[in-house]
Amino acid sequence: MSETRIGPCGLNAVVLAAALTIALPAQSTALPDPTQPPSYRATRTGITNEASPWALTSTLITEDRRIATINGERVQVGDTVRGARVTEIAPTHVRLSVNGKQRVLRLVPRTVKRIAEDKDER
């Protein structure tokens, strides 16, 4: 019978493999995105502000229907989502009625960037 011996290099490789096997599962937790503001968090449907219980992610406007997606749920005018009644669905925003107050959820920012006019073209 022959006896198998592990040399110093082989023993180092075995110890390294064992250490990596133990250490790698501990590193599998997700890291937060450092580029996101602290009040935002990622969701399955998009980005939502922690201060707002509603996140508008899409609107669909056709001749015979208006549908919006709020918090991953498809809603129409008159529907209720998290205690707010949908009163208007427009291409870029949805208006909610919450305890008698109006609240607007927007898909795009209110500010629009414009191309600066070239002084020579005047």
The tokens for 50 are: 């922690």
14-25 residue pLDDT tens: 777 776 666 555
Contact (Cβ atoms closer than 8 angstroms) between residue 57 and residue 45: yes
Q: In what order do the strands lie in the sheet with 56-61?
A: 56-61, 66-70, 73-75
| Element holding 2 (H helix, E strand) | none
pLDDT at 66: 95
Band of residue 28 on the pLDDT scale cut at 50, 70, 90: low
Domains (range + CATH), the chain: 40-106 (2.30.30)
60-106 residue pLDDT tens: 999 999 999 999 999 999 999 999 999 999 999 999 999 999 999 99
The tokens for 84 are: 């707010």
Please indicate, yes or no, whether the overall pTM of this predicted structure exceeds 0.75: no
Band of residue 35 on the pLDDT scale cut at 50, 70, 90: confident
Residue 107 reports pLDDT greater than 90: no
Give me the DSSP letters along 72-86: TEEE-TT-EETTEEE
pLDDT at 47: 46
pLDDT at 4: 62
40-62 residue pLDDT tens: 555 544 444 456 789 999 999 99
> How far is 71 from 46, CA to CA, in rounded Å?
9
- One-letter amino acid of 60: L
The tokens for 109 are: 């920012």
Q: Which residues of 43-68 are buried (b: 16+ CB within 10 A; e: fewer)?
A: eeeeebeeeeebbbbebeeeeeebbb
